[in-house]
Amino acid sequence: MAGTLTIRGTRITVSAVLGQLAAGSSVAELLANYPSLSNDYVLAALRSVDATS
């Protein structure tokens, strides 16, 4: 995963989080599927899109 943004302390990529949100998953579903995620991390992933555009 060299050069790929990941969620701190996990091996979950920001692109995986964003991809699942884009596919229609809710934040609640993400949190249920990835117990190491928090709402703050999901929001940070969304902010990363804004920072790179």
Strand residue runs (E) in 5-45? none
Domain boundaries, the chain: 14-52
With a CB cutoff of 8 Å and minimum separation 6, the contacts of 24 are: none
Q: What is the reported pLDDT for 30?
A: 95
Q: What is the reported pLDDT for 3?
A: 84
Q: Count CA atoms closer than 13 A to 34's CA, side-chain side.
A: 20
The per-residue pLDDT for range 1-53, each reduced to its tens digit, is 578 899 999 999 999 999 999 999 999 999 999 999 999 999 999 998 877 66
Instruction: Decide: 18 and 11 in contact? Cβ < 8 Å.
Output: no
Report how far residue 1's alpha carbon sits from residue 6's, in angstroms, rounded to the nearest whole number: 8
Q: What is the reported pLDDT for 1?
A: 57
Report how far residue 53's alpha carbon sits from residue 1's, in angstroms, rounded to the nearest whole number: 22
